[in-house]
Structure formats: structure tokens, C-alpha cells
Structure 1
């Protein structure tokens, strides 16, 4: 006896369309946020005397004997390395039969790097606060470090993303810290870099191919690592912000009435602000990617995959 399948149990056309609409909206909003942050930070921190004086005061604490004794992490980021990274991303995507995703991930890296380079040329820094440090908005190193992390995550199977994200986030924070410690960049340069990487990731994820399609390699794996990563990111953001605010209060208190602020404390505050910018963007991307919860993906036949 042949039984008629229960069509009510099958997803409707509207239900099938829902996740796509949600994905486009979610990532489109993040792209919009990145698009707004870039000119906003530039206008406040670069085009005003107060913004320039505040950021330049932190540079007064820069010394050659500061925390990092090597710029190896910064020297890793170069044009040949960027091109090699794009090739590796495409190769991994091709091996997973996700070439379209690999090309989209490569676009995130190249477009972010190109936008950062272009803005350095057109976003001039007016000399309105007697600054001796040339224009550096935004940070190309921080842009590429974040864009590379986001691109690698796109081609990485979901069950491996927790480890990849923690390693990549640590490197991006390290790069942001080094650029500030060495006096290469100000906090606004790092914030602008984060916004650029977020903008292009949002554009590609909203209008490009779906990164996860429910195939075997897209299954979540164990819930524990995902929850650990979420906790680590949230705690890290809280700790970094607390240290940064404390350093800023100490710096301002030291100069109360005299106007001579503690530049070392301001440098710590600047480093923490730069680290917080990176960590906040990484956390937002992690949550937007849906990796923080235990919702099961489905396989290509629509059967829920085990978490």
C-alpha cells in the first residue's frame, strides 16, 4: 500500500526563503554599520583638534623598549603573503567543492586591502593640532589581519571554526597592539580598519553565496567549544574595556589641574581601545555567523544533522 507523503511536514516555499532573507538582512545591517563607522570615526578623531590631541597624547608614551621587541607579526603582512593567502583560500574552497565561497572569501581580503589603501590616499590629516606624526588612517595591517581571519573562517568547516577564530583573533589583537605600541597608528586607525573589514564581510555574506549549506563539512560539531569561544570573547571584551577605562582615568587624574597627563597610561588606554575594537568586531561576526548557539544544521536532504 502506497502512502501519500505528509506535505504539511515539508518546509513551505516561504519557510525555505526565510533563512536566506534573514542572512541577507543580518549581514547587510553589519555592512551598513561598517560603512557608517568609517567616516564617523574619521570626522571625530582626524578632522577635529580635540580628536587629534587626544590620540597624539597617547603616542607620547611610545618607547622602543615597550612590550613587543619585534615587529615580526607586522612584517608577515605583505603583498606576496596576501596573494598567497588568497590562493590558499581558493584551493581549500576548491577541495571542499565550494569554489564560489572561496572566491567570495578572496574578495573580502582584496577589497578590504584595496579600500584601506585608497582611504590612506584620500583621507588626508589636516595639521590642526601640531601633530608630528603623518596621516595613517586607516591601519592597513589591522585591516588585512581581520579580513584574512574572516575569509579563512568562510572556507573553514564549521566544526573547526572555534579554534581558527581564537587563533586568528589573537593574531589580529597582537597586530593592532603592535601598531599602536610602535607609534605607527592611532586608535582611530584601528577602528577604521575594523569597520572596513566588517563592511566587506557583510557585503559578501549578504549578497554572495551561502557559506554553510548543511553538508557534512558544515555541521557544527560539539557544542562545548562553541560555548567556550563565546565566553572567552565576551570575557576578553569586558576585561580589555575595564583595563582601558582604568588607564584612561589614571591618565586624566594625573593631569588634573596641570594639563600634564601620564602618557604611559594614555598609551595603555590606547592599546586597550584598539584591542577592544578588534575583539568587539570579531565577537559580532561570531554571533552573526550563528556559531554561538546549538541550533543544528541540516544535511542536503533536509534531515537535521547531529550537533
Structure 2
């Protein structure tokens, strides 16, 4: 029947309802996945010997491989400050208001505030037990700098008009990944600190970002992002596996660097391989989270 007839309108409404149910189910699954991975990774990285070893080894390898870039990391991490957060928050609110979407501004600011408060509370509540495997045992999970970067990026994705949403997703992915890698290069945070921060922000964004059915520019770009995320994940897994080949839990030597200086010095190539693997893990997780939030607003049947 023609869309203008009652039967056509009913069919269109049924299609819209089915589309919304699919989007809602995807949102819920992604949200639960973020929370589950956040809890599991936090436990593994803090409370298990293997987790502490792998997490610290990846950070120390990254530091050794990028030692000449310390000044660059200082510039990147220096961008995150209270005044910068206030300015970014105002920009987010103004963009939403300019689009005549004040409720959307509230949602965006809510995800920024909620995720950052969650991060600070967890950092104060979590204690890192000394399992005798590494030095530098104080807890640093989750990463506050990474939380700020990813929440502002996700907020911009949520409020962006249709023509700017895909570019915002890519820029946010690059910016957050750069911040996550920088705090690891500087020795401020282990990889798990960054990944957990991204998952916390992702959970808040998935909970508060609206589901909208609207035409999108750059649908093919979203497909490219999916393949880029999968490629980064595969690269991260492969590099980590190669770098850990022949590794033993007894390789740690508390008092020597962060515990693995001697192990990494024997075969210097391990630092580069493991460092690249750690960076690839961060890029993959950030990309996956940004993409899920981005896809809450489109008119396609599938991602």
C-alpha cells in the first residue's frame, strides 16, 4: 500500500519500532559489555600477579621505546586542566543550545561529570596490593587524564549535527588515543588504567546519549572505522604475543626500573614490540567505544 494510507503508516510505524528496538538492544549490550570489561580488567590488573606483571611490563616497554618523546608527552598531557575542562564543557553546551537541544546539552554534560566523578572515586577507593612482582605499587587506575579526553570526545560526538558527527568521531578517537598513549609514555599510567577509563566513559555515554533516527553523512567512513578497530585489535594481540614469547613470571626484579628493566635490556627489540602492542590496545578500545556511541544516531538497519 502507499505510505499515505493507514496501512502504509502502520507498516512504517512498525518498521520504526523494530529499528528502535534493535538500537536499544545494541545500546544495552554495549553498556553491559563496558561495565563487565571494566570490572574484569580492574580485578585482573590490580589483584592478580599475572595482571600486575603484564600491565607494568607493557608500560615500561612503552617508556623505553619512546624515551625521546618525553617533551611531546608533556605538551599533550598539559592540555588537560580544570580551566580546559570548563572551556570544553561550555563549548559542548553552546553547540547543543545552538542546535536548540538544551536537553542534549544536559545529557552531554551529565556523561562528562558522571564519568569523571566515577574515575576519581574509584581511584581513591582502590588499593593495589603488593604481590612482590613489580615496583611502583601505588594504584593509578583509572586514568583521570584519559577520562577527561574521552568524555569530552564522546560528548562532542553526541551533540554534533549530522554533517559533523563522523568527523567528530574520528577526531575524538585520535585525540583520546593520543592522550592515553601519552600518559603511558610518561609513566603516569599503565595500559589498564587508560582502558578502564575509556570503558567508564563509554558506559556513561551509552547510558545518556540519545538514540536518534536521522540521515547520516559518511556511512562508509563508519565501516572504515570498524575495520580500523579490528585491525588495531589484531595488531595489538599479535605484537603482545610476539613480545612475550619466552617470557617468564620470574623475569621481574623489583628495584630495577618498574621491575622489568633487566628483561627488556637483554633483547631491546621487545621494548618496541610490546610498546607498539600497548599503544594498539588503547587505539582499538577507544575506537570501539567511540564507534558504538556514534552509531546511536543513524538511520541504518545494521552497523
TM-score, length-scaled by structure 1: 0.79
Whole-angstrom CA distance in 1 between matches of 2:139 and 2:199: 18
Q: Please point out which of 200, 206, 212 is paired with 2:204.
A: 200
- Equivalences for residues 54-73 of structure 1 within 5 A: 54-61=54-61, 62-63=63-64, 65-70=67-72, 71-73=74-76
Shift of 1:268: 4.8
Structure 1: 5+ residue runs without aligned partners?
A: 297-307
Shift of 1:293: 8.9
Look up the match of 2:100: 97
Shift of 1:84: 1.7
Residue 280 (structure 2) pairs with residue 279 (structure 1): no
Shift of 1:95: 0.7
What do the CA deviations read for 1:66-93 (whole angstroms, capped 9, x no partner)?
Answer: 4343211111112221222121111101
Look up the match of 2:257: none
**Secondary structure, counterpart of 2:67 in structure 1:** coil
Structure 2: 5+ residue runs without aligned partners?
A: 254-259
Shift of 1:199: 1.0
Shift of 1:144: 1.7
In terms of fraction of residues, the more helix-rich structure is: 2
Whole-angstrom CA distance in 1 between matches of 2:143 and 2:162: 29
**Secondary structure, counterpart of 1:10 in structure 2:** helix
Look up the match of 1:34: 34
Closer, same or farther: CA 176–222 of 1 in aligned 2, 3 Å: closer
Closer, same or farther: CA 53–74 of 1 in aligned 2, 3 Å: same
- Tell me the number of residue pairs that the alignment of Structure 1 and Structure 2 aligns: 283
Whole-angstrom CA distance in 2 between matches of 1:4 and 1:65: 64
Closer, same or farther: CA 15–184 of 1 in aligned 2, 3 Å: same
Q: Is the 8 A contact 1:226 1:293 kept in 2?
A: no
Whole-angstrom CA distance in 1 between matches of 2:3 and 2:21: 31
Q: Is the 8 A contact 2:92 2:105 kept in 1?
A: yes
User: What is the CA RMSD across the aligned residues, in angstroms?
Assistant: 3.3
**Secondary structure, counterpart of 1:137 in structure 2:** coil
What do the CA deviations read for 1:131-158 (whole angstroms, capped 9, x no partner)?
Answer: 2242101111112211111110011123
Look up the match of 1:303: none
Whole-angstrom CA distance in 1 between matches of 2:7 and 2:188: 61
